[in-house]
Amino acid sequence: MDTVSRKKRSEVMGRVKGKDTRPEMVVRRMLHGLGYRYRLHAPELPGRPDIVFRQRKKVIFVHGCFWHRHDNCKLARIPKSRVEFWTQKLTQNKERDQRNLQDLVNNGWKVLIIWECELTDIVALKARVQQFLD
Q: What is the pLDDT of residue 78?
A: 87
Res 15: pLDDT: 65
Distance CA 68, CA 71 (A): 9
Boundaries of every domain in the chain: 17-82+110-133
- Return all residues near 92 (Cβ < 8 A) that are at least 6 apart: none
**Closest by Cα among 104, 101, 105 to 93:** 101
pLDDT of residue 13: 65
Q: Was domain 17-82+110-133 assigned CATH 3.40.50.300?
A: no
Please give the model's pTM, rounded to 2 decimal places. 0.85
Reference 133, options 106, 108, 117, 112; nearest CA is 112
pLDDT < 50 positions in the chain: none
